Structure 1
Amino acid sequence: MNFNKGDNSTRFNFVAKSRHFFIFSIVITILGVLSLAIFGLNYGVDFKSGSSVDIVVTKDLSGKKAEIEKFIADSGLGAPATTIGADRITLRFDNVLSDVEEHKLKDGFAASFDKDASMEVYIVDVEIARELQFNALKAILIASLGIIIYVSIRFEWRFAIAAIVALLHDAFIVISLFSILRLEVNLPFIVAILTIIGYSINDTIVIFDRIRENMRFAKVKTAADLAKVVNDSVWQTLSRSINTVLTVVVTALCLFLFGGESIKLFALAILFGLASGAYSSIFIASPLWLLLKRGQKPKQGSKVSTTS
């Protein structure tokens, strides 16, 4: 794809329309905050106490979900969240199963559905769940801090602020969607968030690097000149951004459609993050840097500087 051809006057002006994109992102953020305040997140067993039971079956039981749920209910084990694939069944219990309950589940399942099935039970207590939540949050904060330091040194602090706002926007969009859709949040979800942060900052840095290169040769005397540099830089990197996101989307979509049950939510989070990351890199990060740059007081007799 080549988006660099044609008269500049006929091209879409990202800078001129930036207010609309800012408003759209603010509305989405408010909806996300409301959803998190009202519904919260649907934490999986990784982040709350309980038992996770993975059953590898030797025959397809995907059409017997109702029977399996009735068997578990009749056994007095509660009502776990049940995910049934062609060769694997996952049960998420809010309570920690005792040894007696584990044996009861294993023996009953073998007798009723698949005598050759193998079963593994993972238990997470309250303290471990809290520690995992804390470590997940710490990992995201450390990653964000590292990005701020790197971008501030490599570019300037205005680029760093714009980049962090964009990647936090992406992470929050994915978290909000998981809250609204009541999708399970577990450790693979945290891995997906960190992956999204890495993708988002990479895409944003490519645009920022082009802005910096163009600023070296542009005669920037007015705010309009600065806006033109930003708009031209986005257009010059647009084909790269679109081609990159489409390539990764195909891979993530294949994981979602053909991957195992345990990886589907990870792939779905990546798909959400890819869309949000491409959007924020083009429509949020660069216009936000422009707003910050316009507030800079240039030295008298010189053009606008790109370093702080």
Structure 2
Amino acid sequence: MSSKNPSSSSKWDFNFIKASKYFYGFSILITLAGIICLSIFGLNYGVDFRSGSNVDISVSKVVTQADVQKVLVDAKLDQEANITAGNDRVNIRFPEVLTDAQAQSLQSTFNSQIDNNASYEINTVDTEIAKELERNALLAIIVASIGIVIYVTIRFEWRFALSAVVALLHDAFLVISVFSILRLEVNLTFIVAILTIIGFSINDTIVIFDRVRENLRFAKKQTHADLEDVVNKSISQTMTRSLGTVFTVFIAAFALLILGSESIRMFSLAMVIGLLFGAYSSIFIASPLWLALRNKKKPSAAQPSKATN
């Protein structure tokens, strides 16, 4: 007679483990495309990670990109600058650091031709600072991953820890791959988004793993089918909570993407993409990986107790 688990009922009746092979294939495809793009083109770093100047101009009237381009020509400035023009703000990103004379020329020309009431904010990053920011961003992701491995290993076991870290690195790398493939700009807010995505991903994964551990106490654990049934039931029992959490954050991130300012556009986009990847990685990547690792475990401890009551 088997013990009854009060939480065994679920509204979701689906074989998540069987379906995971399609998600593994999709992830592998995006990962390979990302590796190729990163190898050939690298990332499209913003001014935060490369030397250059970022000029943010607040204006009192609508300014077009053509207006700003004419200012750059008359001020004898770099025509390779990236221009973003809006209703009340203009952003110009120069690949080279502006000198004081160039900055003054830009301001005076802009004031005389477009808006005499404009206000300016100029941020400059030199080569050494850009390299240091890049190293620190990578270090932050590595430290966060190590901390998660230690925490999950102590709370659960190494198989859970390894599966969780693979899932969160999967989420981070797929977002990076999409940004590389689409040549989207990577700046400091992008790194913040990656760390935030890692936090949400590990949270969902821990919820599922905690239910797996709980259900293992009430289930038979003798065959692969038994363990697969435990994982499927555990995912089903936490599905509503996981989707509800992700959907709530997704709506907020999507609203920021549509209605937010240009300065947080890449942060919002990275969050939207990362939440979509994270929504399925905890279910279709981490959990099946744990099952695969658990099935490799030697059944020596269970060998003497074949005869059951």
If the length of structure 1 is used for normalisation, what is the TM-score?
0.93
Count of residues in correspondence between the two structures: 295
Match of 1:247? 248
Work out the CA distance in 2 between the residues paired with 1:253 and 1:131.
Answer: 31
- The RMSD of aligned alpha carbons is 1.4
CA contact (8 A) 2:67 2:114 kept: no
Cα deviations by residue, 1:26-67 (Å, 9 ceiling, x for unpaired)? 121111101111221100111000111111112222xx1112
Q: CA deviation at 1:84?
A: 1.7
Q: CA deviation at 1:301?
A: 3.2
Question: Is 1:264 matched up with 2:270?
Answer: no
CA contact (8 A) 2:27 2:174 kept: no
Match of 1:17? 19
Cα deviations by residue, 1:89-109 (Å, 9 ceiling, x for unpaired)? 111100010010000000111
Letter in structure 1 aligned against 2:121: E
4+ residue segments displaced more than 4 Å: none
Work out the CA distance in 1 between the residues paired with 2:305 and 2:100.
Answer: 76
Secondary structure of the structure 2 residue equivalent to 1:301: helix
Mark the runs of 5 or more structure 1 residues left unpaired by the alignment.
Answer: 304-308
Secondary structure of the structure 2 residue equivalent to 1:16: helix
CA contact (8 A) 2:193 2:267 kept: yes
Letter in structure 1 aligned against 2:216: M
Mark the runs of 5 or more structure 2 residues left unpaired by the alignment.
Answer: 1-8
Cα deviations by residue, 1:60-82 (Å, 9 ceiling, x for unpaired)? 22xx1112123213422112111
Match of 1:284? 285
Cα distance, 1:294–1:252 mapped onto 2, change above 3 Å: same
* Residue from 55, 58, 76 that aligns with 1:56: 58
Match of 1:145? 146
CA contact (8 A) 2:11 2:236 kept: no
Percent of residue pairs bearing the same amino acid type: 59
Work out the CA distance in 1 between the residues paired with 2:114 and 2:304.
Answer: 82
Match of 2:29? 27
Q: CA deviation at 1:144?
A: 0.3
Question: Is 1:116 matched up with 2:117?
Answer: yes
Question: Is 1:301 matched up with 2:307?
Answer: no
Work out the CA distance in 2 between the residues paired with 1:32 and 1:260.
Answer: 28
Question: Is 1:65 matched up with 2:65?
Answer: yes
Match of 1:306? none
Work out the CA distance in 2 between the residues paired with 1:19 and 1:71.
Answer: 55
Q: CA deviation at 1:302?
A: 5.1
If the length of structure 2 is used for normalisation, what is the TM-score?
0.93
Question: Is 1:38 matched up with 2:21?
Answer: no
